[in-house]
């Protein structure tokens, strides 16, 4: 068994398979999304128990806007409900909430509650929960390129000063360490526009279960798998 040093500093999860879970149970897709809320709690608890300081959850992608309007609005309502009903828990669990993605695209009511919860939890320090909402990595990278281009245009930077560090500082994740471990549920082996820059050296663990069936034990198993990997970062 490895030492505590190999506990990941940041776990990112692509919470996939809610629709298929619902289908298996003969339920409408939205019930799958609803059932997934319990798994979020399990993932937070497991990370807290292990001492993982950052957990990022992919909750809604840029591409998910193209789903039927009824599903999109159900997802936004569920998100609002989650934020309202979990605020007490987040405070008790000492969780700081942050968000990445094109938050401005969310409905005003969702933005309001999100901003409130982020403000109220800003000084909590046991774990940072980052929700990726209306998030797409290509959009994020393009926005960073745009900011840097403007900075060059107005004389803030010289083109030779554009390093990987400067670029990373213009991403939504500027103050968040890169994920060490990327988990995707439902057996799909793809990244779907999630943290493309940041996962360059993340270890990937694919879990066959659908997200609503994900429990603490599944996160512990993924971390155990991560601890068996030999990370080389391009070196020998
Ligand atoms: C993940 O589950 C949740 C979101 C993308 C919002 P899906 O809704 O993608 O479920 P499947 O993949 O269709 O089963
Ligand atoms: C990725 O899942 C996005 C989230 C989990 C929020 P999708 O279900 O949207 O991705 P694809 O369509 O399978 O690639
Ligand atoms: Mg899916």
Cα–Cα distance measured from residue 117 to residue 132, given in angstroms and rounded to the nearest whole number = 15
167 vs 133: CA distance, rounded Å: 21
Alpha-carbon span 73 to 82, nearest angstrom: 14
Q: Provide the pLDDT for residue 5.
A: 55
Distance 59 CA to ligand 3 centre (A): 11
Of these residues, 16, 180, 213, 218, which one is catalytic? Answer: 16
In angstroms, the CA 128 to CA 25 distance is 33
How far apart CA 60 and CA 48 sit, in angstroms, is 23
Q: What's the mean pLDDT in 128-147? A: 98
C-alpha 18 to ligand 1 mean position (Å): 5
The rounded distance, in Å, linking the Cα atoms of 153 and 28 is 51
Contact present, 135 and 58 (Cβ < 8 Å): yes
Q: How many angstroms from the chain centroid is the CA of residue 113? A: 18
Q: Residue 95 is inside which H or E element, if any?
A: strand 95-100
Q: pTM of the full predicted structure?
A: 0.97
Over residues 30-87, the pLDDT tens digits come to: 999 999 999 999 999 999 999 999 999 999 999 999 999 999 999 999 999 999 999 9
Portion of the chain with pLDDT greater than 70, in percent: 98
Which of 186, 190, 214 maximizes ligand 1 atoms within 8 Å of its Cβ, making it the mutation to test the pocket?
A: 186
Q: Is 16 in the pocket of ligand 1 (CB under 6 A)?
A: yes
Q: What's the mean pLDDT when you consider all of the chain?
A: 96
Looking at all shown ligands, the one closest to residue 212's CA atom is 1
Q: Are 99 and 68 a contacting pair, CB within 8 Å?
A: no
Question: Is the Cβ–Cβ distance between 148 and 129 less than 8 Å?
Answer: no
220 alpha carbon, distance to own chain's centre: 18
Helix/strand/coil for 127: strand
Domains within the chain, CATH numbers bracketed = 10-226 (3.40.1180.10)
């Amino acid at each position: 068994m490895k030492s505590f040093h190999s506990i990941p500093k940041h776990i990112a999860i692509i919470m996939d398979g809610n629709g298929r879970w619902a289908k298996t149970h003969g339920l409408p897709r939205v019930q799958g999304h609803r059932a997934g809320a319990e798994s979020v709690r399990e993932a937070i608890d497991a990370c807290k128990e292990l001492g993982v300081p950052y957990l990022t959850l992919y909750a809604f992608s840029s591409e998910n806007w193209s789903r039927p309007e009824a599903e999109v609005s159900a997802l936004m309502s569920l998100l609002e409900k989650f934020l309202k009903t979990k605020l007490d828990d987040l405070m008790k669990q000492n969780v700081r909430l942050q968000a990445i993605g094109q938050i401005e695209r969310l409905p005003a009511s969702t933005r309001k509650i999100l901003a409130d919860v982020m403000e109220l939890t800003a000084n909590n320090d046991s774990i940072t929960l980052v929700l990726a909402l209306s998030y797409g990595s290509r959009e994020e990278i393009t926005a960073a390129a745009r900011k840097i281009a403007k900075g060059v245009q107005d004389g803030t930077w010289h083109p030779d000063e554009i390093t990987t560090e400067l670029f990373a500082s213009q991403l939504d994740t500027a103050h968040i360490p890169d994920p060490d471990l990327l988990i995707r549920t439902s057996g799909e082996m793809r990244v779907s526009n999630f943290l493309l820059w940041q996962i360059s050296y993340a270890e990937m663990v694919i879990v066959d279960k659908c997200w609503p069936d994900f429990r603490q034990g599944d996160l512990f198993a993924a971390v155990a798998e991560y601890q068996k990997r030999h990370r080389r970062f391009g070196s020998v």
